[in-house]
Amino acid sequence: MKKKTRAPFLTMVSVLACLSLLFGGFRMVMMRQSGNGEEIIKAYLNAHRDRPFLADLLGDDFPFSTLEAILEGADPFVAERLADAGDLAGSEFDPGDFGDGSGEGADAPSGEDLDVVSGDTPEGTDASGDENTPAHEDDPDLTGDPATGMGADDVTDQGGTGADGAGDQPAGDGSGDGSVDDGGGASEDSDKPTEPWLDEDGLQYSPCTEYTAYEPIPTDSRYYKDRGLTALTTSYEYGYAEDDYFADAAFIGDSRMLGLHDYSGWKETSDFYCENGFSVYKWMKGEQVTLLKAGVPGKGEKVDLQTAFSEHSYSKVYIMAGMNDLGYGDTVMFQGWMGELLMMVRQTQPQAVIYLIGNLHISREKDDTQPAMNNINTNDKNLALAGLVNGEDIFYLDPNPLFCDEDGYLQEEITFDGYHLYAKNYSELADFLREHAVIR
């Protein structure tokens, strides 16, 4: 008996595929000639920009800059952000200069946030109970990687290391023997820069921030780099603040700020605008945040942050955010988004002192076990925060020396998941803020 062949079927499929490609190409040419083809293509790409198939199919070596330039033209949010121009507290910082999409780094993630445990206090446990319990365990939390849609509050327990080899030497350990300015002037006081300056990527540095240098590790990430610098807490004659200092303070942040809410003793007097998974990128996209109002029990209510700040008056604002932005765009873009948040706070709270709190590092065990989730990226984002301070009403506070080992990793004994502190350790973070108060 003659054996059947599948050749006719395969030939037919191949012919149909070729005809489909030809027809699609013909339509694109005709639409382009008619004047609306580019808009249609942009609209299609923009509608699918959150899908990871492009990155999965084409890989990181694909020249995304052209695609990103097209997407920026199609995304009103990006276009509006890039078109914005405004000074931040009188400095030369202009968020419109950041993240132009012509280079590496797309400012939108692909994929959805993973629903995983972040670390909330188990039910029935509070500050008077077992202080060795996690803080905030029943809700998901932590960042967004562009390839996975995942960040520090979206942690899963997967093994492996990143392509950049960041796990071997975390950045930002606070060690070093002298300040550097990376191009704005020498470390000698007489040669220190007096104005903010940008590096070759467009990341802004502040003359009010001191930096320590170390040997950087080469990276191939499109979303961060090892700049060989660690930002130190803004130099200032800080005073010690009693708890009444925080009575008119607002706290903005993610799950770590929620831990501070639960264990600092300030939830009866201070307003906390916190969210598991809070990111500046999501705020820029219009997501609301939960307001835990001072002295009001319960889970709080969702509010628009700018509207809420317009309706309240605060003399101090503490912001701890960035871990959930580790994979949303690159570090320069993150600095631009944070600049927008700072301008909103300054416009609504013109008399407030603003504290930018450095993101806590990751433990040795968890460093680089997720894409973009490593201490090099965390340190890069902290550099972005420190680059926005002016030493007058905006300050950078780095708590990492308090919680990290000599190699810059979050100490294993104070974290239950490699990212979050145990409940009792949030009181140490509160003490750190008490000891770094601007008192006038």
The full set of domain ranges for the chain reads 111-440
Q: Which residues contact 210 (CB under 8 A, 6 or more apart)?
A: 179, 231, 232, 235
Tell me the C-alpha distance between 68 and 256, whole Å.
Answer: 32
In degrees and rounded to multiples of 5, residue 324 shows phi and psi of: -90, 10
How much is the pLDDT for 24? 58
| Cα–chain center distance at 162 | 18
The closest of 341, 299, 294 to 320, measured between CA atoms, is: 341
User: 179 pLDDT exceeds 70?
Assistant: no
User: 281 pLDDT exceeds 50?
Assistant: yes
Q: Which residues contact 354 (CB under 8 A, 6 or more apart)?
A: 316, 317, 318, 319, 342, 345, 346, 393, 394, 395
Question: Once rounded to an integer, what is the mean pLDDT over residues 153-166?
Answer: 36
- The fold adopted by the segment(s) 111-440 is Rossmann fold (3.40.50)
Give the rounded percent of residues in the chain with a pLDDT score beyond 70: 59
Question: Which single residue is written with the structure tokens 């996690």?
Answer: 134
Q: Are 99 and 82 in contact (CB under 8 A)?
A: yes
User: 181 pLDDT exceeds 80?
Assistant: no
Beta strands 249-253 and 197-198, pairing class: unpaired
The whole-chain average pLDDT of the chain stands at 73
How much is the pLDDT for 26? 57
Question: Once rounded to an integer, what is the mean pLDDT over residues 399-412?
Answer: 97
Q: Go through 279-313 and write b for each residue having 16 or more CB atoms within 10 A of its CB, e for each that does not.
A: bbbbbbeeebbbbbbbeeeeebeebebeebbeeee
Tell me the C-alpha distance between 87 and 96, whole Å.
Answer: 10
* One-letter amino acid of 345: V
Longest dimension (CA), the chain: 98
How much is the pLDDT for 53? 37
Q: Would you state the structure tokens that stand for residue 307, as one six-digit string?
A: 């509207």
How much is the pLDDT for 20? 66
pLDDT in tens, 205-242: 999 999 999 999 999 998 899 999 999 999 999 999 99
Tell me the C-alpha distance between 121 and 101, whole Å.
Answer: 40
User: 100 pLDDT exceeds 70?
Assistant: no
Report the DSSP beta bridge partners of residue 355. 318, 395
Q: Which residues contact 2 (CB under 8 A, 6 or more apart)?
A: none
Q: How many residues does the chain have?
A: 440
| Cα–chain center distance at 27 | 41
How much is the pLDDT for 35? 47
The closest of 313, 327, 317 to 393, measured between CA atoms, is: 317
Q: Would you state the structure tokens that stand for residue 81, as one six-digit string?
A: 């952000």
How much is the pLDDT for 6? 59
Tell me, what DSSP letter sits at residue 323? Answer: G
* One-letter amino acid of 411: Q
Q: Which residues contact 280 (CB under 8 A, 6 or more apart)?
A: 321, 322, 325, 334, 337, 338, 340, 341
Give the range among 99-103, 125-129, 245-249, 262-266 with minimum mean pLDDT: 99-103
How much is the pLDDT for 126? 37
How much is the pLDDT for 128? 32
Q: Would you state the structure tokens that stand for residue 52, as one six-digit string?
A: 């990871």
pLDDT band at 106 (very low <50, low <70, confident <90, very high): very low
> Who wins on pLDDT, 45 or 25?
25
How much is the pLDDT for 172? 37
pLDDT band at 167 (very low <50, low <70, confident <90, very high): very low
Report the DSSP beta bridge partners of residue 239. 437
User: 65 pLDDT exceeds 80?
Assistant: no
* SS3 assignment, position 251: strand
Give the range among 8-12, 26-30, 105-109, 229-233 with minimum mean pLDDT: 105-109
pLDDT in tens, 304-348: 999 999 999 999 999 999 999 998 999 999 999 999 999 999 999
The closest of 333, 329, 352 to 342, measured between CA atoms, is: 352
The closest of 60, 75, 74 to 105, measured between CA atoms, is: 60
